[in-house]
Structure 1
Amino acid sequence: MPPSTEAVARVGILTPSGMLGAGFAPETVERGLTLGPDVIAIDGGSTDSGPHYLGSGVAKTTAAAVSRDLRILLKAAATANIPLIVGSCGTSGTDSGVDWVAGIAEQIMAEEGLDLRIARIYSEQEAGFLKEELDAGRIHPLAPHGPLRPETLDSCTHIVGMMGHEPFVEAIRAGAQVVLAGRATDTALAAAVPLMLGMPAGPSWHAAKIVECGGQCTTNPRAGGVFATVDQNGFTIEPLDADNVCTPTSVAAHMLYETADPYRMREPAGTLDVSDATYTALDERRVRVEGSRFEPAEQYTVKLEGARVTGYETVSFSAIRDPYIVSHIDRWAALLRTVLTERVTQTLGPADDYTLDIRLYGHNAVLEDLDPDSSAPREVGVMLLVNAPSQATATAIAKVANPLMLHLPLPEMEYLPSFAFATSPAETERGAAYEFVLNHVVDVDSATGMFRTHHSREVSHV
């Protein structure tokens, strides 16, 4: 039977880790079950790792890691008779990502003798439908993007809509015991059951934000997940690891994580406001949070994420320890670009549709001109990233660069330097490269209308 939706005094959220497949100690989940959870919620993905995973529809995590974590959580959910919710399955929340995690779950249940009803919530969107919404004036850009063009939608290999909590609630009310969802806000999966069971929106959304990354809100983020207890006046949070600690500072600081404003965070249904929230240590491990508010939006919106192919990449990596070149590394990199461009034209003919990215690791590859450390490095790693319309062209350009990345001297040098390639062959083909091209929202009349739910078997609606 699905959970009762009658008013309750408190709702417990068990979040074992910041991401399915990242790993956690089984004993932390066992301890979490003793605290009386009403839901196990864990994120399955993110855009943090770039557009490749959405563009290609493949997962960042390995099946073995997902299976290991999921086995523990499915058994825990069955033991406690509570829902297990996974959002953004397969890293990016594509339909194939949902089916991939569902296939792993079904195999585990067969092996463990578990009989749990699974709901798959799909979030992929058709370009044709979105072009109709665009024509109707219902799609709007988020800064810094400008107005959306129809051809941008057509160019995407995958487009997902970011769901709020409502599809999770609908699936659980329909009897789902395991909910595997496409792209969702990180907070929606943790807020769903507290909201469904009558907890106030402010504490529910704030607690969901704090638990979203597991132990990130503790003093030892590597020690595992957290447990939040939401009630009518606020929430209490504590680590699952008995030796880990939550402090008012560690909890409050998580509002700085992945938010443009540390006091306000937008969800599809409205905005969480924590400007008046208070954080109080109950003891050496637990923190009490009160004063959070949630402002319902005048218009419910669903954020779109889409990725498209920008070309094909080949990468080469060489290391330089010649002290003279290292001390003039910026001038050397400029010379490499000039000479390589000339030789590409000489050997492959005129070409304007490729790009060269030269990154100097150990010098300024991370911060570039923002790096405050101007001291000379002892060695520099030179990464050449070539993007071209075809893989063959990208690799050909990288091969033209090969002798230059091995022996290119500065003009005034009287000897031929030698550098070191990291691999043999020096050129590694990376395949298709992708870019994010959608940062827009759709005005919707229904919070669940853009998403499709499939149940593993027929259930009785309540």
Structure 2
Amino acid sequence: MRVLAPSGMLGAGWDHATVERGIALGADVISIDGGSTDSGPHYLGAATAKTTAKAVARDLRSLLTAAAAAGIPVIVGSCGTSGTDRGVDWVAGIAAEVMAEEGLDLEVARIYSEQDAAELKEHLDAGRIHPLPPLGELTAETLESCTHIVGAMGHEPIVEALRAGAQVVLAGRATDTAVAAAYPLMRGMPAGPTWHAAKIIECGGQCTGNPRAGGVLATIDAGGFTVEPLDPTVSCTPISVAAHMLYETANPFEMREPAGTLDVRDARYTALDDRTVRVEGSEFHFAGQYTIKLEGARITGYETMSFTAIRDPRVLAEIDAWAELMRTMITQRVGQTLGLADDEYAFDLRLYGHNAVLDDLEPESGPPREVGVMLLVNAPDQPTATAVAKVANPLMLHLPTPGMDYLPSFAFASSPAEVERGAAYEFVLNHVVDCDPAGLFRIEPGETRA
């Protein structure tokens, strides 16, 4: 079985010629991820996509026309970035427009993965929900606080949709690997090679020497699988393929799926030529209990941001002391002018160009040449967040160091300096629920829902 993975995400774009080459090489199915949790909790909390409708339409046109001509299915997982019901319907609506424009008549199935807090509380009360590190036991209040909750489906609901005749499967939140593993598993391919191949190709060309050049084709058989880039000028090597087991995994030798665990300790990676890699020895250990991972996000407040740039060498020579003074001054002035206590708002001050990424782990020392200062304020409502940022405005523009006897000038990135970011979200669910493979998901054919 040959699985064509054109890219790591729908909407990222690719050269259509690479898809055509995958079809010519005998692809049996096209699979692609539509999102993940990589981009943070906003997309799940707000049920919005990080990609544009035009980019998704462009990619779907490439996939649907090629798949229709070849008579093979297309599977998209985690539609709309986070896999909410709204995300599935958004992608389905775009797919319907593309098919109408191209004169395609394809059977579409939508798989919804969004979960109802009340139903999950029944699972919680029955002892069927368990925490994953580092979180502790789940409470009903946490479930109720989420704006959206999804379950990360395995391959089983996708297989059910395919067996019912779907030519295009648009799934809600799914494990990245389930999207690529579903069709081969349905056709009887062994679990070990299939899940390992799915992991390697989940991000398209990232397992090659040039991840910008397009996707890959995985060929799975009874003894293992091979991986080949779809761009003829790009190569896979044993190192580039094996290295992808390090990507987004806590353990480079194991990866948990709803049905069990992929084990690649004994996997062997062999170069068949200068472009293609053969992998053998992968195993899959089925678990005694099937589990689905839950993801949920809730609003933590509302944010306002401002950003200024510092080039003054005297300030930069004492940038840590300056930042500490800034924090003190903001707290004092907010209390004086707005009457807010410390627990009524929060702010973060980050020095880009000086330890903003690694903080205390930064190995380099010495004063920076220039620093971008980001102030991010969080409060229970937007007006309060903006008011705090406005109080900080003069400090962000002119605050001197303790030893300076004049006011320096800094440069705001925008006017007005305060940018309202709206609701801020946080992930609060990292739990699994004991269930049967399709029990938490709904499959619907036909047109999108209102």
The TM-score range, normalised by the shorter chain, is over 0.9
Correspondence for 1:389: 380
Deviation at 1:236, TM superposition (A): 0.6
Identity %: 75
Correspondence for 1:51: 41
Deviation at 1:35, TM superposition (A): 0.9
Query: Any idea what SS the aligned residue of 2:248 has?
Result: coil
Correspondence for 1:428: 419
Is 1:12 the counterpart of 2:2? The answer is yes
Q: Is the 8 A contact 2:45 2:296 kept in 1?
A: yes
Deviation at 1:297, TM superposition (A): 0.6
Partners of 1:46 and 1:134 in 2: CA distance = 25
Query: Any idea what SS the aligned residue of 2:344 has?
Result: coil
Is 1:162 the counterpart of 2:152? The answer is yes
TM-score (norm 1): 0.96
Is 1:81 the counterpart of 2:71? The answer is yes
Correspondence for 1:35: 25
| Counterpart code for 2:424 | A
Is 1:359 the counterpart of 2:350? The answer is yes
Partners of 2:59 and 2:92 in 1: CA distance = 13
Aligned residue among 258, 272, 279 for 2:248: 258
Q: Which sits farther off after the overlay, 349-358 or 393-402?
A: 349-358
State how many pairs are aligned: 446
Structure 1 gap ranges (5+): 1-10, 458-462
How large is the Cα RMSD of the aligned pairs?
0.6
Partners of 2:424 and 2:5 in 1: CA distance = 33
Query: Any idea what SS the aligned residue of 1:64 has?
Result: helix
Partners of 2:344 and 2:8 in 1: CA distance = 40
| Counterpart code for 1:244 | V
Partners of 1:376 and 1:232 in 2: CA distance = 59
Partners of 2:329 and 2:368 in 1: CA distance = 24
| Counterpart code for 2:237 | T
Query: Any idea what SS the aligned residue of 1:107 has?
Result: helix
Deviation at 1:375, TM superposition (A): 2.4
Correspondence for 2:292: 302
TM-score (norm 2): 0.99
Partners of 1:425 and 1:46 in 2: CA distance = 33
Correspondence for 1:409: 400
Partners of 2:251 and 2:405 in 1: CA distance = 56
Aligned residue among 365, 378, 388 for 1:374: 365
Aligned residue among 407, 432, 437 for 1:447: 437
| Counterpart code for 1:97 | G
Is 1:215 the counterpart of 2:201? The answer is no
Partners of 2:402 and 2:195 in 1: CA distance = 62
Correspondence for 1:272: 262
Partners of 1:327 and 1:27 in 2: CA distance = 53
Deviation at 1:226, TM superposition (A): 0.3
Describe how 1:89-128 pairs up with structure 2 within 5 A.
89-128=79-118
Q: Deviation digits for residues 48-80 of structure 1, max 9, x if unmatched?
A: 010000000000000010000000100011011
Correspondence for 1:145: 135
Deviation at 1:350, TM superposition (A): 2.8
Partners of 2:263 and 2:269 in 1: CA distance = 14
| Counterpart code for 2:408 | P
Partners of 1:169 and 1:310 in 2: CA distance = 37
Partners of 1:35 and 1:290 in 2: CA distance = 21
Partners of 1:416 and 1:235 in 2: CA distance = 66
| Counterpart code for 2:100 | A
| Counterpart code for 2:19 | V
Partners of 1:425 and 1:323 in 2: CA distance = 26
Correspondence for 1:233: 223
Deviation at 1:353, TM superposition (A): 2.0
Correspondence for 1:5: none
